Structure 1
Amino acid sequence: MVESINTKVDLVIDATAFTGLTDYGKIMIGDRGFEFYNTRDPHKFIQIPWEEVNLVIASVMFKGRWIPRYAIETKKSGTFTFSSKDPKKVLRAIREYVDPDYMVHSLSFFEVIKGAYKAIGKKKK
């Protein structure tokens, strides 16, 4: 069994990690980091210390009424994407340990399309 990096746990909730294939498990948010444990395979886990978190990116839809997924961008290991039963509760728990300036909204569909058209326009000039 894997040993937790946290000494105090604030929140444990059912979640899904999008790591190639979807992994179902539990998210644990504590005083030292963010952890995801797979329910079926104890060898599949993600542990991210708070010092390693660069950004928390939330995909917000319908003016904040629905958050389908969120991602944690780390300084060395890349970006990990998750979804959970109550994402607002998870993001509020993360906000206790990560500066709110480092918690951002992802780009909407139309913002991505607009950026692509601008990039195409710059290439032609």
Structure 2
Amino acid sequence: MVKSLNTEMAHTTKGTWFREGPIYGNIMVGDKAFEFYNDTKLQDYVQIPWDEITYVIADVYFGGKFIPRFEIRTKQNGRFRFASRKSRTTLKEIQKRIPRESLRKAPSFLAVLKQGFKNLFRLIVKKN
């Protein structure tokens, strides 16, 4: 049995962890860590202490009305992508526990295309 790092839970909701495929379970935001536990397999869990998180990047659409998923980047173990039924409230609870500058908005599809064309143009100009 996995022991929780948190002593009290501030927010609990159903969620999905995107590893190789989607893993369904419960997302728990507590006083000491962000935790995800699988519904069926107990060995599929993630516990991320608040001091280990470097960035939380959210995909934001329609001016912040729709947030389908978010990504947590850590100092040691890399990237973890999650989606929850209540992503907005989950991110608000996370915001209370990490510094404001650690929350980021993911670039939009058009911003990624624009940056790609700029880089391609710079490459072409640099070769000539």
Deviations 1:64-119 (A, max 9, x none): 11001001010111110000011111001001101111101000000000010111
Query: Partners in 2 of 1:21 and 1:2 — Cα distance?
Result: 22
Q: Tell me the equivalent position of 2:108.
A: 108
Partner of 2:59, secondary structure, is strand
Question: After superposition, what is the alpha-carbon deviation per residue over 1:35-71, rounded to whole angstroms, capped at 9, x for unaligned?
Answer: 0000000000001000100000000001111001001
Which residue of structure 2 lines up, in the alignment, with residue 55 of structure 1?
55
Q: Distance in 1 between matches of 2:13 and 2:27?
A: 5
Counting helix residues as a fraction of each chain, which structure ranks higher? 2
DSSP-derived class of the 1:91 partner: helix
CA distance in 1, matches of 2:84, 2:53: 19
Residue type of the partner of 2:102? Y
Provide the TM-score with structure 1 as the length reference. 0.98
How large is the RMSD of aligned CA atoms in angstroms?
0.6
Q: How many residues in Structure 1 have an aligned counterpart in Structure 2?
A: 125
Q: Is 1:70 aligned to residue 70 of structure 2?
A: yes
Asked if 1:33 is matched to 2:48, the reply is no
Structure 1 stretches of 4+ with a deviation exceeding 4 A read none
Shift of 1:25: 0.1
The one-letter amino acid paired with 2:62 is F
Unaligned runs of 5+ in 1: none
Unaligned runs of 5+ in 2: none
Query: How many angstroms does 1:7 deviate by?
Result: 1.0
Kindly name which structure, 1 or 2, has the bigger radius of gyration based on alpha carbons: 2
Distance in structure 1 (CA, Å) of the matches to 2:103 and 2:14: 21
Determine which structure has the larger strand proportion and give its number.
1
Q: Aligned-pair distance for 1:121?
A: 1.3
